[in-house]
Amino acid sequence: MIFIALWGLLSFPGLAGYGQVERRLGDAFYVVPLGVKGGLDESNLSAYLVATKGNYDYVCLDAGTLRFGLQKAADSGLFDEAPGFQGQNPGHGPRDRPGADFVMRHFIKAYLISHPHLDHIAGLIINSPEDSAKNIYGLSFCLEVLRDHYFTWKTWANFGDQGDRPALGKYHYAPLTAGQETAIAHTPLFVTAFPLSHSKPNQSTAFLLRSGDAYLLYLGDTGADQVEESDKLRQLWTSIAPLIRAGKLRALFIEVSYPNAQPQKSLFGHLTPRLLDRELIKLDSLAGKGSLKGFPILVTHIKPSGDHEATIKEELAAENPLGVQWIFPEQAKALSF
Amino acid sequence: MIFIALWGLLSFPGLAGYGQVERRLGDAFYVVPLGVKGGLDESNLSAYLVATKGNYDYVCLDAGTLRFGLQKAADSGLFDEAPGFQGQNPGHGPRDRPGADFVMRHFIKAYLISHPHLDHIAGLIINSPEDSAKNIYGLSFCLEVLRDHYFTWKTWANFGDQGDRPALGKYHYAPLTAGQETAIAHTPLFVTAFPLSHSKPNQSTAFLLRSGDAYLLYLGDTGADQVEESDKLRQLWTSIAPLIRAGKLRALFIEVSYPNAQPQKSLFGHLTPRLLDRELIKLDSLAGKGSLKGFPILVTHIKPSGDHEATIKEELAAENPLGVQWIFPEQAKALSF
């Protein structure tokens, strides 16, 4: 066991380095997954930091798990080269290495929340006492639930700037208008929100991030149009197809919560590998047949029950009619697009 | 490094064993901490399994972190000797070892929730889709927040048996009457609830568990009477003093969230070492001076900011006017009382 481990380290020294990017697919966006699973494991719930490459002004896409993921990323050295933290971080980790609190307070500049299910916002709420002031962006349906159910004095302190009095105002609710691009304050990023259907009539959100001429698309939890009796995904695909055709979309994050065997009545607004394939075929048609070949699709929100993770990976690999590049993000392993 | 690790294993084989109890203080109650910290770290938030010794019908006192703590406890072999799990646990961990899901579904028979702050209930909500049917006990103020803010269809599925329709009814809200003992269904345990003040006018709860003639007292978050302008702790101390005098109370769980330096205006309904000492002196007077000497006090809910944990432990050790036995519970390390 020890020999195998040593052999591993010696044979692939590049894999043992700190702060490295696992996959180098592009140079526009830097992504640090803080949590990737679809529920249950409190230490690894949906949350993804995104910044422009070489920049430390991050947005956080959903915030199911913050601190545990931030600490793991910080301990891996992912933020070691950030400017301005030296000496400002007493008691947090090794000398000259920023800890989770520091990264949260200084490098996360905004949250973008897709929908108000607890596995997408628990980390934000639980860490709010130690957080710094910033904006929470989302569609109104989502921000209203944060205001009326989570940041109320009945359930927590009200760190928002609306709702139950006194409103402490640490967080500013910044509602997005669907389809309209908005600048994300204190970052060089822009976002456009698109509504999704997540177990009708519940809603969710896709966020299209833009940095200059490069785009990244993140979908919160969503069901397939056919199952949801909705056209929300078709509308989204229609909007982003020109970006794929023009080679401007760098990657797409989308959920696959359940394996193909999950009965339709028990999908609860989620996708399976087969349902995702069908949706991507529609997108491929709109963008131009074959345009998704080799395209990076980040598979998020696999529900960690039984052997779901292995089954979903097998099923995605076995079908994949478009030849997309499936990427399975891992907590605290950085990616570039 | 490898040699040191090997030496450690060889030199103290007893410490490397599975399923061992860290401290053997008694034979009435078996306690498995699933999470012990006062916020922030999503993988280690307040939750304590309690059963009578040798029994696998657990109650769970608060439920901030469930699955991560359960998996760690299961991986340590704490449930290896439980009857009846063989062959019922496909895909979860090594052969014949129950995994987190199995323990949650089969061994946790009830939740007792002290107050509805998210760091005390996030694990329950996030794991509810995979849980089995059971009772949630608490004072009405607490159950009403669960019903109206967490288990509503706006924020989650409604797994409760009241509130937003359709109520799926997996969990039965079982309101407790303060001061009145209630049998906990499917366990040999009984509970009496006492109201606490947690940043006036917010409430919290102390649970007095009984197994035969032995008692265990768990306090949720609480401020000191003097700071809270309350007499809730004095009332509680008066009620339990006779049990200490009679040697029937085995241990007491109480929070210390902040070090002594925390300004009174920033206590937010929590205790410091000095404030705890003052409260315990009142209890000692009521129970008979000197009766708390050597008594096991489990210090919970230390807020993991900066060097709080080290400072609080130093401050508790330095003062300790009654000579109580401070115990700092650790995640997945079992205790007996």
Predicted pLDDT of residue B210: 98
Are residues B99 and B92 in contact, defined by beta-carbon separation less than 8 angstroms? yes
User: For tokens 């007893």, what's the residue?
Assistant: B14
Computed over every residue of chain B, the mean pLDDT equals: 90
Q: How far is CA A148 from CA A3, A141, A276, in A?
A: 56, 11, 33
B67 vs A40: CB contact, 8 Å cut-off? yes
Predicted pLDDT of residue B7: 34
Mean pLDDT of all residues in A145-166: 96
Report d(CA B62, CA B113) in Å as an integer.
5
Mean pLDDT of all residues in B209-233: 97
Which residues are paired to A58 by β-bridges? Answer: A108
Candidate from A126, A129, A156 with C-beta closest to B42: A126
Residues in chain B: 337
Q: Is the pLDDT of residue A15 over 60?
A: no
Q: Compute the 3-state secondary structure of chain B and give helix, strand, coil in percent, each to the nearest 5.
A: 30, 25, 45
Q: Does A149 touch chain B (CB under 8 A)?
A: yes
Are residues B29 and B35 in contact, defined by beta-carbon separation less than 8 angstroms? no
pTM of the predicted structure, to 2 decimals: 0.90
Q: Does A157 touch chain B (CB under 8 A)?
A: yes
Q: Is the pLDDT of residue B181 over 90?
A: yes
**A90 contacts on B by Cβ (under 8 Å):** 306
Q: Give the containing element (helix H, strand E) for A242.
A: helix A232-245
A202 vs B153: CB contact, 8 Å cut-off? yes
Residue A274 gets the label, from left (phi > 0), alpha (psi -120 to 50) or beta, of alpha
Predicted pLDDT of residue A26: 76
Predicted pLDDT of residue A12: 34
Q: Which two tokens stand for residue B19?
A: 């399923």
**B67 contacts on A by Cβ (under 8 Å):** 40-42
Query: Nearest CA of chain B to the CA of A275: how many Å?
Result: 22
Q: Which residues does B5 contact at the CB level (< 8 Å), separation at least 6?
A: none
Q: Which residues does B247 contact at the CB level (< 8 Å), separation at least 6?
A: none
Which residues are paired to A218 by β-bridges? Answer: A207, A253
User: Strands B203-211, A108-112: parallel, antiparallel or unpaired by DSSP?
Assistant: unpaired
**B152 contacts on A by Cβ (under 8 Å):** 149
Eight-class DSSP state of B264: G
Q: Which two tokens stand for residue A194?
A: 């698109």
Cis peptide before B273, with omega less than 30 degrees from 0? Answer: no
> What is the side-by-side order of every strand in the sheet holding A58-63?
A21-24, A334-336, A29-35, A47-52, A58-63, A108-112, A134-138, A171-175
Torsion A305-A311-A317-A320 (CA) sign = negative
B150 vs A149: CB contact, 8 Å cut-off? yes
A122 vs B117: CB contact, 8 Å cut-off? no
Predicted pLDDT of residue A85: 59
Eight-class DSSP state of B131: P
Q: Does A156 touch chain B (CB under 8 A)?
A: yes
Predicted pLDDT of residue B47: 98
Q: Is the pLDDT of residue A91 over 90?
A: no
Report d(CA A44, CA A332) in Å as an integer.
10
Q: Compute the 3-state secondary structure of chain A and give helix, strand, coil in percent, each to the nearest 5.
A: 30, 25, 45
Predicted pLDDT of residue A16: 31
| CA atoms lying within 13 Å on the CB side of residue A53 | 15
How many distinct helices (H) and strands (E) make up chain A?
9, 15
B119 vs A130: CB contact, 8 Å cut-off? no
Are residues A269 and A232 in contact, defined by beta-carbon separation less than 8 angstroms? no
Q: What is the pLDDT of residues B30-63, one digit of tens each?
A: 999 999 999 999 999 999 999 998 899 999 999 9
Report d(CA B326, CA B316) in Å as an integer.
8
Report d(CA B221, CA B158) in Å as an integer.
26
Report d(CA A193, CA A209) in Å as an integer.
9
Report d(CA B174, CA B110) in Å as an integer.
10
**B45 contacts on A by Cβ (under 8 Å):** 42, 126
A156 vs B123: CB contact, 8 Å cut-off? no
Query: Nearest CA of chain B to the CA of A283: how many Å?
Result: 30
Give the ipTM of the model, two decimals please: 0.88
Are residues B300 and B36 in contact, defined by beta-carbon separation less than 8 angstroms? yes
Report d(CA B144, CA B71) in Å as an integer.
30
Report d(CA B150, CA B125) in Å as an integer.
8
- Of the pLDDT bands very low, low, confident and very high (cuts 50, 70, 90), residue B17 is very low
Q: Which two tokens stand for residue B199?
A: 């940043």
Q: Is the pLDDT of residue B291 over 60?
A: yes
Cβ within 8 Å of A, B 207-246: none
Report d(CA B280, CA B81) in Å as an integer.
38
- Of the pLDDT bands very low, low, confident and very high (cuts 50, 70, 90), residue B14 is very low
SS3 B140: helix
Q: Which residues does A330 contact at the CB level (< 8 Å), separation at least 6?
A: A22, A33, A36
Cis peptide before A329, with omega less than 30 degrees from 0? Answer: no
B305 vs A123: CB contact, 8 Å cut-off? no
User: Strands A21-24, A29-35: parallel, antiparallel or unpaired by DSSP?
Assistant: unpaired
Q: Give the containing element (helix H, strand E) for A172.
A: strand A171-175
Q: Which two tokens stand for residue A116?
A: 């108000």
- How large is the angle between the packed helices A308-318 and A273-287, nearest 10 degrees? 40
Comparing CA positions, the residue from B160, B109, B104, B330 lying closest to residue A41 is B104
Predicted pLDDT of residue A88: 52
Q: Which residue of B has its CA nearest to A144?
A: B154
Interface residue of B9, B150, B155, B202 to substitute, partner A, most A CBs within 10 Å: B155
Query: Nearest CA of chain A to the CA of B246: how many Å?
Result: 38
What are the helix (H) ranges across B37-153?
67-75, 100-102, 122-127, 140-145
Report d(CA A206, CA A222) in Å as an integer.
9
Q: Which two tokens stand for residue A268?
A: 């609860």
Q: Give the containing element (helix H, strand E) for B331.
A: none
Which residues are paired to B172 by β-bridges? Answer: B135
Predicted pLDDT of residue B98: 85
Candidate from B130, B155, B306 with C-beta closest to A145: B155
Residue A42 CA from chain centroid, whole number: 16
Which residues are paired to A298 by β-bridges? Answer: A253, A327
Q: Which two tokens stand for residue A195?
A: 């509504």
**B305 contacts on A by Cβ (under 8 Å):** 101, 130
Predicted pLDDT of residue B84: 65
Q: Does B278 touch chain A (CB under 8 A)?
A: no
Residue B227 gets the label, from left (phi > 0), alpha (psi -120 to 50) or beta, of alpha
A157 vs B122: CB contact, 8 Å cut-off? no
Q: What is the pLDDT of residues B255-288, one digit of tens each?
A: 999 999 999 999 999 999 999 999 999 999 999 9
B152 vs A152: CB contact, 8 Å cut-off? no
Cis peptide before B201, with omega less than 30 degrees from 0? Answer: yes
Q: Which two tokens stand for residue A53?
A: 């490459």
B40 vs A67: CB contact, 8 Å cut-off? yes
SS3 A333: coil
Interface residue of A155, A158, A159 to substitute, partner B, most B CBs within 10 Å: A155
Q: What is the pLDDT of residues A251-271, one digit of tens each?
A: 999 999 999 999 999 999 999
Percent of chain B with pLDDT over 90: 84
Cis peptide before A304, with omega less than 30 degrees from 0? Answer: no
Residues in chain A: 337
Q: Is the pLDDT of residue B93 over 50?
A: no
Candidate from B91, B126, B127 with C-beta closest to A307: B91
Query: Nearest CA of chain B to the CA of A216: how many Å?
Result: 27
Report d(CA B261, CA B311) in Å as an integer.
10
Predicted pLDDT of residue B183: 98
Report d(CA B256, CA B299) in Å as an integer.
6
Are residues A192 and A236 in contact, defined by beta-carbon separation less than 8 angstroms? no
Q: Which two tokens stand for residue B16?
A: 């490397």
User: Strands A134-138, A108-112: parallel, antiparallel or unpaired by DSSP?
Assistant: parallel
